[in-house]
């Protein structure tokens, strides 16, 4: 079977509603998780409700999200925000761009830098050399197949500690997980910000 992405209008499409509806009755722990999620992000998110069809997916996803880095002395909020927005854009996930670009200024990014990430302009003049190395690595890890040349490994070691590389790699993987799960279920944009639209 051969698949094609020739229909570019649908490739980046944000859907009005998910492909499936949540179960009519949510398990107690998932209702509690959805309630906590709503309190934290100030939005009634669809994803925990849909994952209620298979609660193990809901619980494991929640644990993954709770344990991933959100700020660190080496891999700070700005670097983590760059990773999150870049992966969201590369995965063409409007919901993810919407959520991960939210409060970009609090992470030390400008609107122009967010637009540069969305437009894959990784050489934008305000990005540091360390950030450019990070973005090159994000691009390689999010691509299929994942091929990391020796030159990239050398650049990583020049700019980051082994601990920092693990934080970066696990964050890239985590955002890829969410982006692909959310896209595969057709979760619509939640309305966190106005920067989620992907320009073709």
pLDDT tens digit sequence for 57-104: 999 998 998 898 988 999 999 999 999 999 999 999 999 999 999 889
How many Cβ atoms from other residues are within 10 Å of residue 138's Cβ? Answer: 26
Last residue of a domain, one of 37, 67, 97: 67
Last residue of a domain, one of 67, 99, 124: 67
Q: Are residues 86 and 174 both part of a single domain?
A: yes
Q: Are residues 83 and 167 both part of a single domain?
A: yes
Q: Which domain holds residue 41?
A: 26-67
Q: Are residues 57 and 88 both part of a single domain?
A: no
Q: Are residues 100 and 125 both part of a single domain?
A: yes
Question: What is the domain-level CATH number for residue 128?
Answer: 1.20.1290.10
Q: Are residues 153 and 85 both part of a single domain?
A: yes
Q: Are residues 57 and 102 both part of a single domain?
A: no
| pLDDT confidence of residue 177 | 97
Residue 5 pLDDT greater than 80, yes or no: no
Last residue of a domain, one of 67, 86, 119: 67
Most distant CA pair in the chain, distance: 53
Asked whether residue 193 is assigned to any structural domain, the reply reads no
Find the helix packing angle between 129-142 and 150-159, rounded to 10°: 140
Asked whether residue 190 is assigned to any structural domain, the reply reads no
- Under DSSP, is residue 195 helix (H, G, I), strand (E, B) or coil? coil
Asked whether residue 4 is assigned to any structural domain, the reply reads no
- Tell me how far apart the terminal alpha carbons of the chain are, to the nearest angstrom: 27
Please, which pLDDT band fits residue 15 given cuts at 50, 70 and 90? low
Nearest-CA neighbor of 187 among 79, 67, 48?
48
Nearest-CA neighbor of 15 among 185, 176, 177?
185
CA 115 to chain centroid, in Å, comes to: 16
Asked whether residue 108 is assigned to any structural domain, the reply reads yes
pTM: 0.87
Q: Are residues 83 and 171 both part of a single domain?
A: yes
Token pair for 30: 């998932």
Asked whether residue 17 is assigned to any structural domain, the reply reads no
Asked whether residue 160 is assigned to any structural domain, the reply reads yes
| Separation of alpha carbons 10 and 14, rounded Å | 8
Q: Are residues 123 and 60 both part of a single domain?
A: no
How many Cβ atoms from other residues are within 10 Å of residue 41's Cβ? Answer: 13
Asked whether residue 112 is assigned to any structural domain, the reply reads yes
| Separation of alpha carbons 14 and 187, rounded Å | 8
Number of structural domains (the chain) is: 2
Please, which pLDDT band fits residue 56 given cuts at 50, 70 and 90? very high
């Amino acid at each position: 079977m051969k698949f094609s992405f020739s229909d570019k209008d649908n490739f980046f499409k944000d859907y009005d509603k998910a492909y499936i509806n949540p179960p009519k009755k949510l398990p107690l722990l998932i209702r509690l998780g959805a309630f906590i999620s709503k309190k934290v992000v100030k939005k009634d998110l669809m994803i925990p409700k849909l994952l209620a069809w298979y609660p193990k997916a809901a619980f494991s996803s929640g644990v993954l999200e709770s344990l991933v880095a959100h700020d660190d002395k080496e891999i700070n909020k700005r670097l983590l925000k760059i990773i999150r927005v870049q992966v969201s854009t590369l995965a063409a996930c409007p919901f993810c761009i919407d959520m991960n670009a939210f409060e970009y200024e609090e992470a030390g990014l400008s609107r122009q830098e967010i637009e540069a990430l969305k437009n894959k302009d990784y050489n934008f003049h305000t990005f540091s050399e360390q950030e450019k190395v990070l973005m090159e690595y994000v691009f390689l890890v999010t691509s299929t197949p994942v091929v990391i040349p020796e030159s990239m490994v050398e650049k990583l070691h020049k700019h980051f500690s082994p601990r920092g590389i693990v934080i970066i790699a696990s964050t890239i993987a985590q955002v890829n997980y969410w982006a692909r799960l959310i896209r595969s279920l057709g979760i619509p944009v939640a309305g966190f910000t106005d920067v989620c639209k992907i320009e073709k």
